[in-house]
Amino acid sequence: MKSIELKAGRERPVLRRHPWIFSGAIAEVRGNPDPGETVEILDEHGEWLAQAAYSPHSQIRARIWTWDREESIDEAFIEKRILASVNLRTSLRQDPRVNAYREVHAESDLIPGLIVDRYDSFRVVQFLNQGAERYREAILNILSKDPEIEGIFERSDADVRELEGLGPKVGTVWGSDPPERIKILENDLQFWVDVYNGHKTGFYLDQRQNRTLVRPWVSGDVLDAFCYTGAFSVAAIAGGAQSIVSVDSSAQALALTAENIALNYPLHTNHDQVEADVFQFLRTCRDSRRSFDTIFLDPPKFAGTSSQVEKAARGYKDINLLAFKLLRPGGVLITFSCSGGVSQDLFQKIVADAALDAGVEASVHAVLGQADDHPVRLQFPEGRYLKGFVCRLHG
């Protein structure tokens, strides 16, 4: 088998079961492996460590499939991993109140680069690296065997594919085309989802549990900034909000926000939608002395790579500072970061600095993260990309 030999001392992360091998850790690539081909990982002395998928264009040069030398990386191996991952979500699959959740969560489910999200009777897939791409036909064959599934739609249009040397792929890859909008169930709420054009695979499934957890913290006049299709706006009404202002830069997302509110609360009329740059909207509110009792900040990813973290930190500080200035005494800021390069500790420091510069005192009353169908392997802390805080102003 073709192989990668690591530099002296660079085997420690592999021995600790971290799934990524960076280009800087590699001494030599032997055998001229193809993109996505399985290679052996060897230490400086030639001792066997793992089997991994090779990616010649990425800074993450190899992603580990297994630490078991006897396993064969083939369709049977992939099927075993996928079925194990799907079976871990049996409680969600059997819950009549939920029909949308993540079935396969890439590295944290031991299938690097593969995302599978379930929306009612459809699956939406993303192949995010060369290893997953190499086995795409086998993966689609496995996913199509489920008798509950009507169709599989691909949304392999994430920016990370470009870093892998892969182009975008979007469209139905098996079975029936999904409807223009799929109605999903989330406990006592319902949402319309556009898997064709929506962010990620169509919906922020990782916030599923948070949309229930935040309700006790909602009161009065609510601002939902970066609202996307209004899931937190709907959750805020469920929590007792008197009025909602939903802000997003996308007219298409705001149209779906209105439909999602009407779907759940057809009699709720105290709702405004604003198509605007959120940063500018917050500044305008500050300048006009407008205020709110509850503010949601759930911006898109500000840092896609480690080199962007410093710039992202400035962006997070700016929006949180502005939000703190708009809160009434005793008000609540529910703020999130989905940038994997921004750790929870760093994000808390950013929010703390924002409060300091805003001249307010605030306490963290709850720490939030991604839903339990988005697990985090203990050996792979990078998988904990979503972090959030419920902050209450003193006074």
Q: Which residues contact 337 (CB under 8 A, 6 or more apart)?
A: 299, 302, 316, 347, 386, 387, 388
Three-state DSSP state, 215: helix
Tell me the average pLDDT across 258-264.
98
pLDDT tens digits for 66-75? Answer: 999 999 999 9
pLDDT tens digits for 93-137? Answer: 999 999 999 999 999 999 999 999 999 999 999 999 999 999 999
Residue 303 pLDDT > 70 = no
Q: What pLDDT is attached to residue 1? A: 85
| Percentage of the chain exceeding pLDDT 70 | 99
Structure token digits, residue 307: 């080199």
Tell me the average pLDDT across 240-246.
98
Name the DSSP class of 76: H
Give catalytic residues, as residue numbers: 338
pLDDT tens digits for 330-369? Answer: 999 999 999 888 999 999 999 999 999 999 999 999 999 9
**List of domains in the chain:** 3-66 (2.30.130.10), 75-175 (3.30.750.80), 204-393 (3.40.50.150)
Return the residue matching tokens 């949309």.
211
Least Cα distance to 294 among 338, 262, 330 occurs for 330
Residue 4 pLDDT > 90 = yes
Least confident of 92-96, 228-232, 297-301, 305-309: 305-309
pTM equals 0.95
| Percentage of the chain exceeding pLDDT 90 | 94
Three-state DSSP state, 62: strand
- Cβ proximity of 196 and 171 under 8 Å: no
Split at pLDDT 50, 70, 90, the class of 305 is: low
